[in-house]
A and B are shown apart, each in its own frame.
Chain A
Amino acid sequence: MTDTALPVWVALPAALLLFAGGLLTLIGALGLLRMRDFYSRMHPPTMGATLGTGCVLVASMLVSSWLLHRPVIHELLIALFITLTAPVTAILLMRAARNRSR
């Protein structure tokens, strides 16, 4: 696309959101590695799956809307999809773990 300079009111919130999203996802992955048993390990990656993805997608919406000079909201598709599918996988996996350790 066009390589124009971003104004302050786009670049600053987007940068803060990306910073927060990256940090949250990294902390979540660290928790995935550090937690002791499987049931505790279920929890940390969801931090990246919800808040990290949300931050990144909002930042992407901001920048794309500025670059294309029109509101770009198709990032909501990914957000909706992740919100709908992450609990399904979590429920199935938790049920499988409970059945297997019985």
Chain B
Amino acid sequence: MTALFDAAAGFAAVCFLVAMVLATVRLFAGPRAQDRVLAFDALYLNGMLTLLMVGLRSRSEVYFDMALLVALFGFIGSTALAKFLLRGEVIEP
């Protein structure tokens, strides 16, 4: 049963990695800037899920904190980019 769980975790990790590659393709190919920001959003989310998968496979709790930090800084980054596209300024006086 542990082997089944490890196989499922490996499958999910491969899925998230392929999703990261697809998001990277969209990041480079996106015709406009908002497509690139959207692809970046998907990219950091899939990276966070990959970190969780690594943590599940290695039975370690450390990766959870990393995933939380990735979620936090990814949100800040993509929101700042979207705000910049919206107003031409990230922090307005």
| A interface, CB within 8 angstroms of B | 1-3, 5-8, 10-12, 14-16, 18-19, 21-23, 25-26, 28-30, 32-33, 38, 41-42, 45, 48-49, 52-53, 56-57, 59-60, 63-64, 67-68, 74-75, 77-78, 81-82, 85, 88-89, 92-93, 95-97, 99-100
Contact = CB atoms under 8 A, between A and B. Distances in A.
B71 A33 contact: no
Nearest to A59: B56
Interface string B24-57: 0110000011110111011001101100110110
Interface of B: 1-2, 4-5, 7-9, 11-16, 18-20, 22-23, 25-26, 32-35, 37-39, 41-42, 45-46, 48-49, 52-53, 55-56, 59-61, 64, 67-68, 71-72, 75, 78-79, 82-83, 85-86
Nearest to A42: B38
A3 B86 CA distance: 50
16 contacts: A5-B1, A11-B5, A15-B4, A15-B7, A15-B8, A28-B19, A48-B42, A48-B45, A56-B12, A59-B56, A78-B64, A81-B75, A82-B71, A89-B78, A89-B79, A93-B34
A82 B2 CA distance: 29
